[in-house]
Chain A
Amino acid sequence: MLPILEIKDLKKHYAAKTGLFGRMSNTVKALDGISLAIEKGKTFAIVGESGSGKTTLGKTMLRLIEPTSGSIIFNGQDIMALGTESMRKLKTDMQIVFQDPFGSLDPRWTVRRTLEEPLRTHYSYSAETITKKVDEILEVVGLTPQHALRYPYELSGGQRQRVGIARALILEPQFVVFDEPVSALDVSIQAQVLTLLQDLQSRLSLTYLFISHDLSVVRYISDHVGVMYLGKMMETGPSEQLFSNPLHPYTEALISAIPQPDPDKRRERIVLSGEVPSPRNAPSGCVFHTRCPKAMPQCSSIQPEWLQVSENRYIACHLYNN
């Protein structure tokens, strides 16, 4: 199947100046050579700890953050080559839902005005058409036209996030980035919103990039998973395979940390020692070697290559380098 979106060797480096007068300069590699492909109608999930670069990845894919290098191919077109105006038009096809349902809505705008903004930006519909489309999308995300008159502070977290989803979907995009869409919500609301997302995906044949640090959520919603650590992709693979048979030591450790609901089903828990190193001072070689339980001598000096190990699985680890 053809990917709707493919990124190749995507990099985002920030120059971090340190020292007096910023004489010493350090490069923070927020994204360091990420490659992945997302199939149409599927959900690709990105997991990783805070600071792993997953949010940067999501925003860079929409060019909300300009990448340092690499290519982003959407529907066969490299969007890195697009000018400002064509990029602006492309926003009707690529959208994002943000993590914070409180901060992502203008506090001085009613829900209706917020939902009208994308339509007014891109189309010159009549007032009635706009009203109709807003009412329709409200219904799609499980709200009513009455909610349109409210201000964000009058809504609950779950309702606000539904407004955020409605705003992203009203332009009928093909691809939507969800940046931790449920992590700010109560668990009961999380389930509702996740069900809504799955329902919308099948109804509107959407493709998702789903960013999360919550592995149980990812397991529930994703078709394909990518595991990130310190700006690098450690492993990607189909969700089922990755969860049942993790290859990378980091993936293994993450999966062993998922709480097990069945107390009789014991599983060995791999506890990683230490903290995530500072991205300003990323370890040499494999970035994970400082915490890896299976580290070998070459891990600290040689960067592992991005290798295909089976049909759909890629990994960056010296353990599989032969």
Chain B
Amino acid sequence: MQRRLLLVGLVFILLWVVLALLAPWIAPYDPNGIRTEDKLQSPNMAHWFGTDNFGRDIFSRILYGARVTLWTGVLAIGIACVAGIPLGAIAGYFGGKVGNIIMRMMDTLLAFPSLILAMALAASIGPGLLGALLAVGIVAMPEFARLMYGQTVVIKEKEFIEASRALGVRHTAIIFQHILPNALAPLIVQITLGLGSAVLITSSLSFLGLGVRPPTAEWGAMISYGRDYIMSGEWWMTFFPGIAIATTIFGFILLGDGLRDALDPHGRSPRHK
């Protein structure tokens, strides 16, 4: 059962990756091409997902939006990993005052609701994709720091770490060559789950006008444009980007959960071997 869910997640994510990569070839229209004569068309043979208030093809915009969404997710989590993992490793390995200061700072960040913190950061860095990226990266960082901290504290007590110290191996080499590889499995799970929440937070920021600038096709921003048309019956403007966001997040969560079970040798039941 778990294996099947992992596969479902993988299919969702691969589907979006392929669609994003092939967007220029698949998309029937220019995602930013304004044709006011075609505006607010309901889904039909020419415009599968309908058109928005500027007459832009929603299907094409969703394909191009996948590129923005996946890239921002990957970059934001990249920032979170590059900052969070070394901080957690240093705090866990050396401990003491430095470790305490690092981890209390991470706790402080974790204490804020993630969307509120992301909004505050994005607003202070300035609207635009770069601001959103950094904001989401900083919001996701403490989770990685905390996970790596916990892993490091456990792994550094293992005898093979002491053996390396007895051989005179330098601390940096111990951290990168012994501790990090042994902490990789839970980190991969966290990266996958983190990608899901990064997608959610970046689209939320875009929805609130703190993410990408118009006219860039981005799912959260598309929902924001469609918001005014829900009551008047133009549901397709919000529905399709909503489905896109939901399936992406769903895919990452299934993948993350599935990987957690697959990478944990203790949780594996014999029939899945």
Interface residues of A (CB under 8 A from B): 59, 62, 64, 87-92, 95-96, 98, 100, 103-108, 117-118, 121-122, 164, 167, 171
- 5 chain-A/chain-B pairs, Cβ below 8 angstroms: A88-B170, A90-B168, A103-B158, A103-B159, A106-B178
Q: Which residue of A lies closest to B160 (CB)?
A: A106
Question: Complex: how many Å from CA A273 to CA B168?
Answer: 44
Contact A121 B160 (CB under 8 A): no
Contact A167 B163 (CB under 8 A): yes
Known: A106-B182, A108-B181, A108-B182. A96 touches B166 (CB 8 A): yes
B268 in contact (CB, < 8 A)? no
Question: Complex: how many Å from CA A125 to CA B164?
Answer: 19
Chain A residues with Cβ under 8 A from B162's Cβ? 59, 64, 98, 104
Chain B residues with Cβ under 8 A from A103's Cβ? 158-160
Q: Residue A91 contacts which of B158, B167, B173, B178 (CB distance < 8 angstroms)?
A: B167
Interface of B is mostly: helix
A185 to chain B, nearest CB (A): 15
CB < 8 Å A-B pair total: 55
B169 in contact (CB, < 8 A)? yes
Contact A91 B160 (CB under 8 A): no
B35 in contact (CB, < 8 A)? no
B165 in contact (CB, < 8 A)? yes
Contact B182 A122 (CB under 8 A): no
Contact A98 B159 (CB under 8 A): yes
B154 to chain A, nearest CB (A): 12
Question: Complex: how many Å from CA A88 to CA B181?
Answer: 24
Which of B159, B160, B164, B165 has the most A CB atoms < 10 Å from its CB? B160
Q: Residue B169 contacts which of A90, A98, A121 (CB distance < 8 angstroms)?
A: A121
Known: A107-B182, A121-B173. A100 touches B168 (CB 8 A): no
Contact A118 B167 (CB under 8 A): yes
A86 to chain B, nearest CB (A): 11
B16 to chain A, nearest CB (A): 32
Q: Residue A121 contacts which of B158, B167, B181 (CB distance < 8 angstroms)?
A: B167
Q: Which residue of B lies closest to A122 (CB)?
A: B168
Q: Which residue of A lies closest to B179 (CB)?
A: A106
Which 3 A/B pairs are nearest by Cβ-Cβ distance? A91-B168, A103-B159, A88-B168
